[in-house]
Amino acid sequence: MIVRRSLLLTEPRKLEIRTETLPDPESGEVTVQTIYSAISPGSEMLIYAGLFPEALAVDETISALAGEFGYPLKYGYSAVGRVAQIGPGVDPRWLGKLVFAFNPHESHFNASVDDLQPLPEGLEAEQAVFLPNMETAVNFLMDGKPLIGERVVVLGQGIVGLLTTALLARFPLGALITLDRFELRRRAALQLGAHTSLDPEDASTADRLAELLPQGADLCYELSGSPAALDQAIALTGFAGRIVVGSWYGSKRASLDLGGRFHRSRIQLISSQVSTLAPEFTARWSKARRFHLAWKMLQEAAPARLITHRFALEDAAQAYQLLDEQPETAIQILFTYS
């Protein structure tokens, strides 16, 4: 009998660690003992703060996240662990495998083998927890379609913004410019290959951007999580440019200036979210193919260097409080299990 520990968000800025008995795995299932799970600061902090939209499915594509948003809520979607027990009908070779799962923060869980991804040979668990955000970054590039020589701006250098920057840095771009309020993230962006990284609140940034983008950006990614940044993305994008909106704003709102140059600029606003593939790709791409590419990019980018903090699951309240009150000090936080 396994007693598992699970993190539950119970109300805005309140959580608890609940213990419960985990049943044996059913036919086609295994029990996974978690090693690490990663906080995804963008979406998780919206839920932590109570800013999720009501009557919206948590995620219709992930079985472990069934149901609608509402407290109490188990959340999280990046867990790496080892298969500790197998159910009837499961190939014995699964036992002991390191696997990734889109599963909430908890010490053990049962899952169908169809919902698990074995880690590629030689990839460490600390790298594998970045899979969801790397898949998201891959999806952003597919939807944005960067071209050789283009001037590209990325607003927001949280973990998904940084991984997007790392992938864009592999292209022969004319300029790769990132914007973020926090120095720690701007330094990381430069280390990952950004040509320039600026503080959007610095008085000199507007002049610097005008110098770097005399005709505006060809492609702009809004990944800050702040609705107000979309207005800045519109202002930075040139005629017939593209803006990929990858942020999830939850219930946050902001007004946009669409009555000025936007009206005549032919700027494209592109909604990008990783749970689906854009229709133009589905003839040759599948989620499996995109996952394969995301695993390859993890091996090459080695994003574990972006981990700034590790907390035991029992100290989860400290982790969320840190992200809520001192976001400038953290990039990626992991929960550890023992």
Taking every pair of C-alpha atoms in the chain, what is the biggest distance, in angstroms? 65
Q: List, in order of start, the domains of the chain with CATH numbers.
A: 2-129+304-336 (3.90.180.10), 132-280 (3.40.50.720)
Residue among 95, 51, 26, 23 nearest 247 (CA): 51
Q: Which amino acid is at 43?
A: S
d(CA 72, CA 79): 20
Q: What is the pLDDT of residue 260?
A: 79
Tens-binned pLDDT, residue by residue, of the chain (338 aa): 799 999 999 999 999 999 999 999 999 999 999 999 999 988 888 888 888 766 555 555 556 555 567 888 999 999 999 999 999 999 999 999 999 999 999 999 999 999 999 999 999 999 999 999 999 999 999 999 999 999 999 999 999 999 999 999 999 999 999 999 999 999 999 999 999 999 999 999 999 999 999 999 999 999 998 888 889 999 999 999 999 998 887 777 777 878 778 888 999 999 999 999 999 999 999 999 999 999 999 999 999 999 999 999 999 999 999 999 999 999 999 999 97
15 neighbors 317 (Cβ within 8 angstroms): yes
d(CA 324, CA 295): 30
CA distances from 145 to 206, 228, 243, 298 (A): 26, 24, 11, 20
Residues composing the chain: 338
Q: What is the pLDDT of residue 61?
A: 58
Distance of CA 225 to the CA centre of its chain: 11
Q: Which amino acid is at 87?
A: G
166 neighbors 192 (Cβ within 8 angstroms): yes
User: Which secondary structure element, helix H or strand E, spans residue 1, and what is its range?
Assistant: none
Q: Is 247 exposed, middle or buried (0-12, 13-18, 19+ CB in 10 A)?
A: buried
pTM passes above 0.85: yes
Q: Which amino acid is at 236?
A: L
User: Which secondary structure element, helix H or strand E, spans residue 132, and what is its range?
Assistant: helix 131-144
Q: What is the pLDDT of residue 54?
A: 65
